[in-house]
Chains A and B, each alone.
Chain A
Amino acid sequence: MIADGLTGDRARGDSARNDRAHGGRARNDSARNDRAHGGRAAGGAATGDDSAARAAAGPLVLGIESSCDETGVGIVRGRTLLTNTIASSMDEHVRYGGVVPEVASRAHVQAIGPAVAQALAEAQVRIEDLDAIAVTAGPGLSGALLVGVSAAKGLAAATGLPLYGINHLAAHVAVDLVAEDSPGLHTPTIALLVSGGHTEILRIGDIVDDIELLGATIDDAAGEAFDKTARLLGLDYPGGPNISRAAAGALDGTGVPGDPQAVRFPRGLSTAPDLRNPARRHSFSFSGLKTAVLRFVTAHEAGAGDRGIRLADVAASFEEAVVDVLVTKTLFACEDTGIDHVLLGGGVAANTRLRERLTERCAAAGVTLRVPPLRLCTDNGAMVAALGAEIASRSLAPSPFDFGVTSSLEAHDVLIA
C-alpha cells in the first residue's frame, strides 16, 4: 500500500527537484517499519480497513520538528512509531562553529517538502489516513520554527485535519511513549534535557497537563558550552563528540585518556549559597566554565603552569565539570521532589561520560534512569508526533489556527491553546 498515484508521483517529483540543493542528506529509520507491522498495532494498521482495530491502536499523527538545525518528520499511530525522517543542516554550520539561524532556516524550507513526502512513503501512510498533525511551536529559533509551522498549516488547510502546536521540551519527554524499548513513559519523572540549545530540569507529573520547569541554564546551554570550548581548544564543531574524543586521548595518538581531575574547573551555580537558593539550586551556568578554560589555555600557551598537562586532560576536566553539575543537580531535583525516576533527553545524551555518571549516581540513589535510543534523544519529528498522538487521544481541541511561533515558549505550555 502506497500513497495514491498523484500524491506519490508529486512527492517524488518535488523531492527530486529539491535534491539538487539538499541531496542525499535525508535519512530514515527504515527499520522502524518492521515494528509497525509486527507490533501491537499491526492488525488494524496493516490492513487499514478495520476501523475498530485502528481506533484501538490510537490516532495516526504526523509530527513536524524544525526548532533548530534538524528538519524532522515523524509518523506515529498511538504509541507505535511508524517512521522518523530527519534532514540535518549540521554540516552547513561547521564552518561557522555553531548553528547559524538563517542557515538553518534556509535548509528547513528546502528540506521540509521532501521530508514530509519521504515520511509518508516510508510509513506507507496516505495523507487522508492521518487523524491529526502536530508541529513544534516553540521554544527554538523563531525563523526555523516558522518554516515547520507554516508547512504544517498548509497541510492542515489542504486536508482539514486538526493541527496541534506543541512544546519542543515536552516532546523530548513524550518520545519515550513510542520508543520500542520503552517500558512506557513513567510519571512522575524528572527530565534532564541537554542539547546545544537547551539545558533544563523538568518535573513531569503528566506529559500534557503537568510539567514544571525546576531549573534551566541562565546563560549558555551545555551543548553550546561544548561547542565554544571546543573552539578554544582548536577542535571542530560539533564540540561534544570532538571534546569527548580529545578526552579519550584519541586525538594525540596516545590513546591514553585524559585525567578528569587534572584541572579543577568551576561548577556553575554550585556554591553553598547557590544551593540554598531555590531559584539557583536547579539552575545552570556554563559561561564561567568556558572562561575558566580560556584562561587556563592562554596561561598554558604563555608557558605558565604544569607543562605535563595534555589537551586530553583539559578536555576530560572540562567534560567532567559539565557532567558533574548536570548529574548533581538532577539528583537534587529527585531528592527535593521525592521523585525516583529520571529521563534523559537532548543531543548531549550522546555523551558517554554523562550517561555513565548519571547511571552510577542514579543507581547509588535508588533512582531509575531511562535514556531513550539516541536517535530519539536528538531533535526529531517522532517526538512531536508522539506528543501529538497523546494529545489527540485525549480528544483535546486543536490549537487556534492563527497561532504563531514562540521562541521562548515555557515548559508548562505543552499545547498551544
Chain B
Amino acid sequence: MIILALDTSAAASAALVDAETEEVLAEWTEFSARKHAELLGPAIRTLLERRPAPGRVVVGVGPGPFTGLRAGIATGIGFALGAGIPVDGLPSHDALALRALRTHAPVSPAGPAPRLRVATDARRKEVYWTEYAGLDAAGVPEVLAGPAVSLPADLHVVPDQGAALRYGRGFLLFPGELGDPTGTAPADLEPTAGDLGIVAARMIAAGRPLLPPVPLYLREPDAQPSARRTTSLR
C-alpha cells in the first residue's frame, strides 16, 4: 500500500511511501516554507504523476506554527475525501526522531539506545520539544516526554536534560540554552514527509492506532474573554 504523507509543521513537504518496503517513491520539500497552501497542492499533483495511487493519507499534526500546519492537514483531509481513502495524523516530531535514531543506531543491539531531544521553532522565542527513548520493537520512536512548548531556558531544568542527540531548528536558534544541533542538514532541522510516512508505515504494520487529523496546538488562542460591561441604563 502506498501512503501519501504530508507535513507542513515547518517545511512544506509531501511524499509517497511504499508501506511494505519503506521506500520513499517520491518526495518534495520546501524548507522554511512561507506559502504552504500555495505550494502543497501543485506539489502533490506533480508527485502523483505516473505513480501508483495512494491508499491512505497521513498528515503531520505538529506541533508547529498553526496557519501553515492547518494548510497541510486540510489538504490531507480534502485529498482523502476526493480519493475515498482514510486520513490520519502523526506527531511531526516523530519524523525528525526517526531520522535521528536511524542515523545514530546503537553500537550493538544490546547497547543503550541514544537519548534524543527534538526541538523545533515555536516562534515567540520558544521551542516545541519532544524527548524520545529510542526506537521501540516496531521501529517507532518511543516518546519519553512531550510534546510541549517551553522557553529554551526552562528546558535546562527539565530532568534528563542531557540528551545525546539534538535534532530540530530549535537547537540552531538557541544553541546557548539547548546545545548545538547534532545534524544541520535541512531535513535534520525540519520534519519531512518521507520520514513521517515511514513512521506511519511502521505504526500501521504494528497495528497501532494513529491520531485524528487535528493539530497539536499546545497553546490556547491569543484572545482574552471580553469583560462583561454593566450599565445602569434599563
A: residues with CB less than 8 A from B are: 4, 6-7, 10-11, 13-14, 17-18, 21, 95-98, 100, 102-103, 105-106, 108-110, 112-113, 116-117, 127, 142-143, 146-159, 161, 231-234, 252, 297, 300-301, 309-311, 314, 401-405
B203-234 residues with Cβ-Cβ distance < 8 A to A are: 212-215, 217, 221-226, 228-234
> Which of the segments B69-77, B90-98, B104-112 contacts the partner chain?
B69-77
New A-B contacts (12) at CB < 8 Å, excluding given A17-B212, A96-B226, A113-B213: A7-B81, A96-B223, A103-B221, A109-B73, A113-B87, A143-B67, A150-B74, A150-B78, A153-B78, A154-B44, A154-B74, A157-B82
Question: Do the beta carbons of B223 and A233 come within 8 Å of each other?
Answer: no
Check B84 against A10 for contact (C-beta < 8 Å). Answer: yes
Is B41 within 8 A of A156, CB to CB? yes
Interface: B151 (CB within 8 A): no
| Stretch of B32-40, B117-125, B190-198 on the interface side | B32-40
Q: How far is the CA of A200 from the CA of B108 in the complex (A)?
A: 70
B233 adjacent to A127 (CB under 8 Å): no
> Bound state CA distance, A212 and B77, in angstroms?
36
Partner of B79, one of A17, A98, A100, A158: A158
Nearest opposing residue in chain A for B69, CB measure? A109
> What is the CA–CA distance of A339 and B94 in the complex, to the nearest angstrom?
61
**B145 is an interface residue with CB less than 8 A from chain A:** no
In the assembled complex, B50 has its CB within 8 A of some CB on chain A: no
Of the candidates A17, A102, A161, A232, which one forms a contact with B229 in the assembled complex, judged by CB atoms under 8 Å apart? A232
Question: How many Å from the CB of A15 to the closest CB on chain B?
Answer: 11
Q: Bound state CA distance, A277 and B71, in angstroms?
A: 43
B81 touches A401 (CB 8 A): no
CB of B176 closer than 8 Å to a CB of A = no
Interface residues of B in 99-136 (CB under 8 A from A): none
A105 vs B224: C-alpha distance in the bound complex, in angstroms?
Answer: 17
Contact B78 A105 (CB under 8 A): no
**Which residues of A sit under 8 angstroms from B45, Cβ to Cβ?**
157, 401
Indicate if the CB atoms of A234 and B228 lie closer than 8 Å. yes
CA A252 to CA B232, docked complex, whole Å: 12
Q: Are A150 and B229 in contact (CB under 8 A)?
A: no
Contact of A157 among B36, B41, B74 (CB under 8 A): B41
- The contact sample of 12 A-B pairs, CB cut-off 8 A, is A14-B86, A18-B214, A98-B226, A150-B70, A150-B71, A150-B74, A154-B80, A156-B78, A157-B79, A158-B83, A233-B229, A404-B37
Q: Report B89 CB to chain A, min CB distance, Å.
A: 11
Check if B153 is an interface residue, CB within 8 A of chain A. Answer: no
Residues of B within 8 A of A143 (CB): 66-67, 70
Specify the chain B residue showing the minimal Cβ separation from A153: B41
What residues of chain B lie closer than 8 Å to A13, measured between beta carbons?
Answer: 86
Choose among B37, B39, B224, B225 the residue with the greatest number of A CB atoms under 10 Å from its CB.
B37
B residues less than 8 Å from A4 (CB atoms): 84
